[in-house]
Amino acid sequence: MRSAPTILHLDMDAFFAAAEQAAKPSLRGKPVVVGGLGPRGVVSTASYEARRFGVHSAMPMGQARRLAPNAAYLVPRFSLYRAVSEQVMELLGRLSPLVEPLSLDEAFVDLEAGGTADDTASALAAGERLRRDIRAVTGLSGSVGLAGSKMLAKIGSEQAKPDGLLLIEPGTERALLWPMSVRTLPGVGPATGDHLRRAGMTTVADLAEAGEDELVRLLGKAHGASLYRMALGRDDRAVVSERDAKSVSVEDTFDVDLHDRVRVRTEVDRLADRCVERLRAAGRSGRTVVLKVRRYDFSTLTRSETLRGPTDDPGVVREAAGRLLESVDTTGGVRLLGVGVTGLADFTQEDLFAQAAADESAAAPHAPADVREREPAGAERAAGDGAVASGAAESGGGPAEAPDVPAERRFPAGHDVRHREFGAGWVQGSGLRRVTVRFEEPGSAPGRVRTFWADDPDLELSEPLPLVPAVAGQSSWPASRPKSRSESRSERDAGRSGGSGSGRARP
């Protein structure tokens, strides 16, 4: 524990939704919900305006629509969020070399290590300066907590939301913590909270009064002892700039249960390829392949296979995941699939590449070659015709008969587009082979709405625009970092397999 509040925790406010509001002038001050728009979609982030209706993260999207039927519902745009996150992390890096990112919108900073602060006054000045800089560079707001430990700094930023700063003076921790709910402490979720409540403990003060022995008896040695230390305000964890990932995984929930075994295998292959893309982007390889299957009755099964050595070869991961699928009964239907890799390393086992080549040379009995090589079914599923409930659309007219729309011409709600005549805008809604676009840009006045046929050659998906216009001679987005060897190799492989390099937004 430090004698000065030199550990800073930054948490951007309603990050995804706030970025969408900054990019879309017509949505400012209105309820915005970002997440999966399908019948089984889940809320990723809700703006503060939407939270007033009871909408919150991890809520089923159907429930959110019932609570806030007039909110704008948007598909996530991770290319935008990553670009803004890089701007924020660059500002944090100016404060200290010790920055520990927790996610795109959250990080710890050791101000003392950067020589930025060594007492209360200098820490407070650094926190206020950071908030001003974030607003100037990104147009967004972030909340800051300052304390002598990571736990208290994080609690401080949560208490400061939205758009605030809370400094917790060392020595005042217990006065702040003890009246709070036990759920305030890290690691106390709904199940642990209910368990403690049944034991008569609802506040942090109750935990401190119960003592370490009682908490160990209730929760086990590791968790009980850790919780007792936190209840006393003790946390000596250091800010770590490099955090090793323990696993890499991807998963998809399907709007309709999958019953066709070939389709299930095709989806597993697609997820395996996406998992390897993330693995290579991180410059890592892995030794254990994990398959996750959630069936029609919500029962969830996991299967794993440990290889001879670490690999980042998509063929090896696909084949291992396929073997694991053979041991799972999918007769009743599958609602979710996931593929992951654990046992990460910084090198690959070369003989596995030969194994992959040999495996791929022979057609697997459960997946004919024509199935394995075609574009996976459902790859564009999330880019379906989601509507945005943010006002009535003005029709721009169209031909008497709507043409067929190929999958690559679908326009996800909320994504950026550019029209040859009308310029930049975003997809307000799509369906019935039509696309409704609001033409406006960050910093502009709310724009007009027009509707086009989805096959209009003048309308194309485009890259997100910077939220804050660039200063003359400078770019609003951070300069791209050099590609690692694994990233370059991944891009080359995508080119060989027909992967798109056009920059078209993908679901």
Q: What are the DSSP calls for 129-157, one per residue?
A: HHHHHHHHHHS--EEEEEESSHHHHHHHH
Least confident of 102-106, 255-259, 490-494: 490-494
Q: Is the model's pLDDT at 499 over the cut of 60?
A: no
pLDDT at 478: 59
Q: Is the model's pLDDT at 419 over the cut of 80?
A: yes
Over range 354-364, report the average pLDDT. Answer: 44
Q: Is the model's pLDDT at 254 over the cut of 80?
A: yes
What is the band of 120 on the pLDDT scale with cuts at 50, 70, 90?
very high
Alpha-carbon torsion angle 41, 51, 7, 132, nearest 10: 110
pLDDT at 421: 93
Coil, strand, or helix at residue 289?
strand
> Which residues, in sequence order, are CB contacts of 296 under 8 Å at separation 6+?
257, 332, 333, 334, 335
What is the band of 387 on the pLDDT scale with cuts at 50, 70, 90?
very low
Q: Is the model's pLDDT at 280 over the cut of 70?
A: yes
**Cβ(78)–Cβ(250) below 8 Å:** no
- Of 67, 11, 9, 10, nearest to 43 (Cα)? 67
**Cβ(380)–Cβ(408) below 8 Å:** yes
**Cβ(322)–Cβ(367) below 8 Å:** yes
The structure tokens listed for 6 are: 């030199």
pLDDT at 400: 38
Residue positions annotated with a catalytic role: 106
Q: Is the model's pLDDT at 177 over the cut of 50?
A: yes
Backbone angles phi, psi at 175, to 5 degrees: -60, -35
What is the band of 413 on the pLDDT scale with cuts at 50, 70, 90?
confident
Q: Is the model's pLDDT at 498 over the cut of 60?
A: no
> Which residues, in sequence order, are CB contacts of 190 under 8 Å at separation 6+?
none
Which of 421-427's residues contact partners 24+ apart within 8 Å by CB, and which partners? 421/458, 422/450, 424/462, 424/465, 426/23, 426/24, 427/388
Q: Is the model's pLDDT at 178 over the cut of 80?
A: yes
Angle CA 31–34–35, to nearest 5? 140
Sign of CA dihedral 36, 40, 42, 47: positive
**Cβ(288)–Cβ(307) below 8 Å:** yes
Over range 332-356, report the average pLDDT. Answer: 74
What is the band of 348 on the pLDDT scale with cuts at 50, 70, 90?
low
pLDDT at 362: 44
Q: Is the model's pLDDT at 393 over the cut of 50?
A: no
Q: How many residues does the structure list for the chain?
A: 507
> What's the whole-model pTM score?
0.73
Over range 380-389, report the average pLDDT. Answer: 38
Strands of the 423-431 sheet, one edge to the other: 448-453, 434-439, 423-431, 416-419, 459-461
Coil, strand, or helix at residue 337?
strand
Over range 436-456, report the average pLDDT. Answer: 93
Least confident of 180-189, 432-441, 471-480: 471-480
Return the bridge partners of 101, or none. Answer: 107
Q: Is the model's pLDDT at 404 over the cut of 80?
A: no
- Of 156, 158, 163, nearest to 135 (Cα)? 163
**Cβ(159)–Cβ(145) below 8 Å:** yes
Over range 177-181, report the average pLDDT. Answer: 93
Could you identify the residue written with the tokens 């970092």? 481
What is the band of 190 on the pLDDT scale with cuts at 50, 70, 90?
confident
The structure tokens listed for 357 are: 């080549």
pLDDT digits (tens, 9 = 90+) for 191-207: 899 999 999 999 999 99
pLDDT at 373: 29
